């Protein structure tokens, strides 16, 4: 697996955002967004990992960067669970690396777009047991959330922001909303933002993300 793209801040790093790209993209996909956000967050490191290239069943078996194989689209996404678990382990390894470098895990945010967001949801609520600073879920869904999902007391205080396009034809709005509602029903501090866009990222959304991150990571705001 290729190493992540690491964007160091202008000041000494005291926080970190680990941001996963979507299906078929790469670690450079969100580099411009991260650099824009670092102007508002001058002490936040951004870590942009790269998914391995592998065959994707729904795309005719063509190999492309993918956090896990998608076997079927409906009625719900059928996925390769073992590959999802491997990707979640990759994220946990990155959390531990940042922790070992001196970043408090309570100041580490997990972010993910589309398939990357599904990995982030799974990691934050079903795998990682330690503290976290929050979750950003962009145009995504939660294939491993179900009625049996249990959220312990510490996770209910984890800030989560779900952002989705009302015209998204790749991950329909109802899939993102279902993930949000699942967490809200379990008492998680989860917010929802909706934009008149497709399966993409727009400036208004980036501005909302920057403000949300600043509320949690800006020392002048939190201290």
CB atoms within 10 A of CB 126: 17
Please pick, among 189, 199, 208, 218, the residue that the annotation labels catalytic. Answer: 199
The answer to whether residue 21 is catalytic is no
Strand order in the sheet with 44-48: 5-7, 44-48, 15-20, 108-113, 134-138, 160-165, 190-195
The answer to whether residue 114 is catalytic is yes
Please pick, among 26, 29, 80, 168, the residue that the annotation labels catalytic. Answer: 168
**Dihedrals phi, psi of 145, to nearest 5 degrees:** -85, 135
Please pick, among 69, 114, 122, 164, the residue that the annotation labels catalytic. Answer: 114
The answer to whether residue 122 is catalytic is no
Nearest Cα to Cα of residue 17 among 85, 112, 84: 112
Catalytic site positions: 114, 168, 199
């Amino acid at each position: 697996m290729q190493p992540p793209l690491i964007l160091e801040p202008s000041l000494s790093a005291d926080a970190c955002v680990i941001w996963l790209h979507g299906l078929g993209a790469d670690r450079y996909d969100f580099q411009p967004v991260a650099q824009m956000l670092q102007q508002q967050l001058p002490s936040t490191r951004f870590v942009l990992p790269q998914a391995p290239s592998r065959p994707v069943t729904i795309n005719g078996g063509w190999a492309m960067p993918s956090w896990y194989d998608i076997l079927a689209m409906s009625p719900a996404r059928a996925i390769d669970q073992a590959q999802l678990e491997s990707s979640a382990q990759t994220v946990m390894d990155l959390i531990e690396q940042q922790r070992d470098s001196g970043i408090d895990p309570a100041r580490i945010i997990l972010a993910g777009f589309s398939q990357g967001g599904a990995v982030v949801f799974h990691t934050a609520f079903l795998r990682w047991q330690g503290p976290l600073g929050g979750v950003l879920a962009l145009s995504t869904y939660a294939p491993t959330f179900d009625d049996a999902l249990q959220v312990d007391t510490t996770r209910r205080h984890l800030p989560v922001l779900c952002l989705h396009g009302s015209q998204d034809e790749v991950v329909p709005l109802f899939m993102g909303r279902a993930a949000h509602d699942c967490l809200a029903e379990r008492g998680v501090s989860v917010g929802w933002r909706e934009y008149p866009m497709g399966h993409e990222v727009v400036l208004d959304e980036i501005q909302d993300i920057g403000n949300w991150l600043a509320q949690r990571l800006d020392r002048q705001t939190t201290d």
